[in-house]
């Protein structure tokens, strides 16, 4: 039960895909406020105690959504092109999972305020009504998958419509799809650098990076955003 008090706003199943370790227990994080890299346990990352309430109603709902999405994620990462060919629109599991990412982030929660806290006290908590004004509801479940040879990063604040599923696979929806396709016109490496620069800039406190990332990379990404 104690583990459920640590309520992750970046799901552990996503974080594990960015682990370079065989057991996938730890990831390497760049911590912005101290400009340092650290290997940290996934169970302790990107979480706040009782973020969604101490009664665990919302936490249990998010857990159900993650469990339903987990096998879908495995299918996507096994062969993104084949998955996209067989699923031209998001499955229900995908829509629920990506929708939950929009709601569960602390920054989003602070904006929802009075909307969400009465809901998490109910036994039948459902986050989907809160997404009515979000872009996911307007996409008709259209999405795209982009593959990368080098490593994408995973920020602690995941932009809506721009979701790294692994270091080598990115899912987009809404306006981001056209933007990433445009970036790709200048080459995969250029697109990857712009994405990682955005993830570093967009993160609130930290971003999961690969083992090769160093301070020079972070400096380059920050300059890229600055001169964009």
Enumerate the domain spans of the chain. Answer: 2-226
Q: What is the pTM of this model?
A: 0.89
pLDDT for residue 104: 81
Q: What is the pLDDT of residues 111-161, one digit of tens each?
A: 655 555 555 556 666 666 666 555 455 456 899 999 999 999 999 999 989
Q: Interior CA angle at 179 toward 174 and 182, to 5°?
A: 140
Q: Which residues contact 59 (CB under 8 A, 6 or more apart)?
A: 4, 7, 52, 53
- Give the chain's end-to-end CA distance (angstroms, integer): 46
**Helix (H) or strand (E) segment spanning residue 217:** helix 215-226
Q: Is the pLDDT of residue 55 over 90?
A: no
pLDDT for residue 1: 47
Q: Is the pLDDT of residue 191 over 50?
A: yes
pLDDT for residue 49: 87
């Amino acid at each position: 039960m104690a583990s459920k008090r640590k309520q992750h706003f970046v799901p552990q199943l996503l974080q594990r895909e960015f682990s370079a370790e065989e057991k996938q227990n730890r990831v390497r994080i760049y911590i912005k406020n101290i400009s340092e890299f650290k290997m940290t346990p996934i169970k302790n990352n990107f979480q706040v105690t009782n973020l969604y309430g101490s009664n665990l109603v919302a936490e249990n709902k998010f857990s159900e959504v993650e469990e339903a999405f987990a096998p879908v994620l495995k299918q996507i990462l096994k062969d993104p092109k084949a998955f996209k060919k067989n699923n031209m629109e998001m499955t229900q599991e995908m829509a629920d999972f990506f929708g939950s990412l929009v709601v569960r982030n602390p920054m989003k929660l602070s904006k929802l305020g009075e909307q969400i806290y009465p809901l998490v006290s109910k036994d039948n908590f459902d986050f989907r009504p809160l997404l009515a004004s979000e872009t996911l509801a307007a996409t008709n479940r259209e999405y795209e998958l982009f593959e990368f040879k080098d490593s994408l990063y995973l920020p602690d604040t995941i932009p809506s419509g721009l979701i790294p599923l692994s270091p080598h696979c990115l899912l987009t929806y809404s306006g981001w799809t056209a933007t990433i396709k445009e970036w790709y016109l200048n080459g995969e490496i250029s697109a990857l650098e712009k994405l990682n620069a955005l993830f570093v800039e967009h993160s609130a406190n930290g971003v999961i990076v690969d083992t090769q990332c160093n301070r020079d990379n972070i400096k380059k990404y920050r300059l890229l955003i600055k001169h964009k």
